[in-house]
Homo-oligomer: A and B are copies of this chain.
Amino acid sequence: MNKNYNHLCAQEARLYRLNHLQEMSSWDQATLMSKKGGRSRAEALAELSGIIHDINSNPKVEDWLKKASKEKLDFVQECNLREMKRKWKRKKAVPTALVMKKRIAASLCENEWRVQRPANDWNNFLRNFKPLVELCLEEADYLSDALSISPYEALMDGYEPGLTEKKIDEVFGDLKTWLPTLIKKVVKKQRKEFVLDLEGPFPTKKQKSLCLEIMALLGFDFASGRLDISTHPFCGGVPDDVRITTRFDKNSLLEPLFGTIHETGHARYEQNLPKEFINMPVGQSRSMSIHESQSLFFEMQLGCHPLFLKKISELIVKTFGYQDAFSHDNLAKLVSRVKPSMIRVDADEVTYPAHILIRYEIERMLIKKEMIPEDIPSMWDEKMNFFLGINSEGNFKDGVLQDIHWPEGLFGYFPCYTLGAMYAAQWYKILETKFGKDSIDRQVYEGNFENIFTWLRGNIWHLGSIYETAELTKRASGGEDLNTSHYKKHLESRYLYSNL
């Protein structure tokens, strides 16, 4: 019975188990590993990657996939097979020699970038980056041929399967028409606002207990996960043992708190993936954008919701004692403060998409061979000025060199951040429509998220990768595709029309 399909499943189950070891060792590396333990950890992880690679390269897979298509599969099995084929097509498209060459080039580029960035050394960075881009272009060409999509689509497809250039151009094209104006308007509006700064210090231990309390309120399952500390916050581990991290700083309260809420969104998606297919591709999270839509839903739609801030305000006062600055309306002003700046990861909700548009517009041209890496700085300055009114000339460190993605050879990844923000706004809008805005407002105010979570569970979490993103979106949205107007309205209503 379904012999070929079962072979494929057995292989996927193995990969899932090995991925478990990889996730846990990587998590440990980022959180607890001893200072001198790095070399042997890297070697152990490389060994594991090799084993995973060998399993992935099993020459029988092609035949299994072909024959499995003719076996009697049920609906979910069909979806599972579709996902297996997708992964395999991408893997088979690129010659192993190219994969290796790219990995070495990326590793070199990233390694030296760690020194070149603080030294603001664009010229030496370029020397490693140019050959890396060449290899990425080659890879994109191979993928493009195999998948019959454009090279840039082929790269995006690695993070957001099925996303077309037409769609992204439409969505980001629309965004570009109104974002710069919105930023200017918000900055102008906020100029008149009076905001109190929080008065620290905020002891780490108390911050952690506050984070744990809010995670619990947001439904994090502590029997299936933990909160720890790392330099760069992330969500790792496996669905039944999700490891999220944050970074505490005794002078900063809101950043670690909202960072934790963000990771909690990722975590709940993972913790609620369909248990019965958990070790199969179909049981895994849909895509980068959908994942980010969960973290941003938690952080921006719920966490920063002016009504939920009342709850957060209470908890902060309970934990740290009273300050005028802890009032919910002051907190609302603090978390919605808009200030154009050079650094993406520190950006507020309104200027963040501008950073993404800059990356997107440049990487798209690079991959379409409409520009060469040498031209990035001037292009960067021009766009930085256009979107954010910032003069970035000569500051490569806080400009193109600020992020690790490109030095790692990741192109087509950045758009997912803003797609996630757009999806998050759309999910919230759907909930308002479904339950009525007043009712949802009241539930958020009371911290009573059951309806919201039930909806997310049924429409996103529990579906894993059963549907492709477009189908998932339409089913969740009553037939509607991704629609930027929800996102626009969300930003306008929170940043222009709210009366805090």
Q: Identify the A interface with B (CB < 8 A).
A: 14, 17-18, 20-21, 24-25, 28, 32-37, 39-41, 43-44, 46-48, 51, 221-226, 238, 240-242, 278
Contact in complex: B32, A44 (CB < 8 Å): no
- In the bound assembly, the distance between CA atoms of A224 and B33 in angstroms comes to 9
Can you sample 5 A-B contacts with CB below 8 Å? Answer: A20-B41, A20-B44, A24-B28, A32-B226, A37-B238
Contacts of A51 in B (CB 8 A): 51
CB A140 to nearest CB in B, in angstroms, measures: 33
Q: How far is the CB of A141 from chain B (nearest CB, A)?
A: 35
| Complex partner residue of A17 from B17, B47, B225, CB under 8 angstroms | B47
Q: What separation, in Å, do the CA atoms of A44 and B238 have in the docked complex? A: 11
Given contacts A18-B47, A34-B240, 9 further A-B contacts (CB under 8 A): A18-B48, A24-B28, A34-B222, A34-B223, A36-B223, A36-B240, A37-B224, A37-B240, A40-B278
Chain B residues, Cβ within 8 Å of A24: 24-25, 28, 44
Kindly list chain B residues whose C-beta atoms are within 8 Å of the C-beta of A32: 226
**Which B residues lie within 8 Å of A46 (CB)?**
17
From the candidates B25, B28, B40, B224, name the one contacting A240 in the complex (CB within 8 A): B40
Chain B residues whose C-beta falls within 8 Å of the C-beta of A20 in the assembled complex: 40-41, 43-44
Other-chain residue from B18, B36, B224, B226 in contact with A241 (beta carbon distance below 8 A): B36
The quantity of this chain's copies bound in the complex is 2
- A41 vs B21: C-alpha distance in the bound complex, in angstroms? 8
Alpha-carbon separation in the docked complex, A36 to B46 (Å)? 28
> In the complex the two chains form, is A44's CB within 8 Å of B28's CB?
no
Contact of A17 with B43 in the complex, beta carbons under 8 Å:
yes
Q: Chain B contacts of A33 at CB under 8 A?
A: 241
A107: min CB distance to chain B, Å: 18
A34 to B37, CA, bound (A): 24
**A44, A221, A226, A242: residue with the most chain B Cβ atoms closer than 10 Å:** A44
Please tell me if the beta carbons of B36 and A21 are within 8 angstroms of each other in the complex: no
By beta carbon, the residue of chain B nearest A239 is B40
Q: Which residues of B contact A238 (CB under 8 A)?
A: 37, 40
Query: Nearest 5 pairs between A and B by C-beta?
Result: A37-B241, A20-B44, A17-B47, A35-B223, A34-B241
Closest residue of B by beta carbon distance from A221: B36
In the complex, what residues of B have CB within 8 A of residue A225's CB?
34
Least CB distance from A166 to B in Å reads 40
Assess whether B21 is in contact with A224, with CB atoms less than 8 Å apart.
no
Q: How far is the CA of A224 from the CA of B37 in the complex (A)?
A: 6
> In the assembled complex, which residues on chain B have CB atoms less than 8 Å from the CB atom of A41?
20, 241
| A104 → B minimal CB distance (Å) | 20
Residues of B within 8 A of A28 (CB): 24, 28
Q: A273 to chain B: closest CB distance in Å?
A: 12
A400 vs chain B, min Cβ distance (A):
35
Report the minimal beta-carbon distance from A51 to chain B, rounded to whole angstroms: 6
Cβ–Cβ < 8 Å partners of A278 in chain B:
40
Residue of B nearest to A43 (CB): B17
A223 CB contacts on chain B under 8 angstroms = 34-36
User: CA separation between A222 and B32, bound complex, in Å?
Assistant: 12
Residues of B within 8 A of A34 (CB): 222-226, 240-242
User: Which residues of the other chain, B, contact A40 by a CB distance below 8 angstroms?
Assistant: 17, 20, 238, 240-241, 278
Kindly state the separation between the CA atoms of A309 and B216 in the bound complex, as whole angstroms.
45
Complex-state Cα separation, A39 to B238, whole angstroms:
12
Which partner residue on chain B sits nearest A29 by CB separation?
B24
Q: Nearest Cβ distance between residue A90 and chain B, in whole angstroms?
A: 24
Residues of B within 8 A of A39 (CB): 240
Interfacial chain B residues near A36, Cβ < 8 Å: 221, 223-224, 240-241
Contacts of A242 in B (CB 8 A): 34
Q: In the docked arrangement, what's the CA distance between A348 and B37, Å? A: 36
Chain B contacts of A14 at CB under 8 A?
Answer: 47
